Amino acid sequence: MGKGRQIAAVIMDNYCRGRRKHIWFSVSTDLRLDAERDLRDIGAVGIGVIDGCKGLDKGRGVFGMRGDTKEGVVFSTYATLVSAVQQQSGVKIQGQKRQKTRRLDQLIEWCGGEDFEGTLVFDEW
């Protein structure tokens, strides 16, 4: 059994214990497909894999997070930890600069901050 399947098994065990949010960091977003395969191959087909912070952005609607992005595994890259995104605002005041939000803060918010109990995986250095 390979490392990816072992990671998937740890995530599945935690998921079954009620810990529904996990983050899996790796070098490349291309490895997300491998993570999805590893989860599927061990029978964890009900655990969704969210495509990083961009996936969280897509899941955020007018009425909050979509159901398929409220829990699961956020698969993200190490580069995400140091990146930022322009904060979206409904009203733009003339002359005011848009603030940047760190992607790390977005991940922490999704996890629930200090109450986070899920798996945090640092893979493929």
- Express as a percent the part of the chain with pLDDT over 70: 81
Task: Output the pTM of the full model.
Answer: 0.80
What is d(CA 36, CA 52) in angstroms, rounded to the nearest whole number? 13
Number of domains the chain is built from: 1
Range of the domain at 46: 3-122
Does residue 125 surpass a pLDDT of 60?
yes
pLDDT of residue 96: 58
Instruction: Dump pLDDT digits (tens) for 91-123.
Output: 455 555 566 788 899 899 999 999 999 999 999
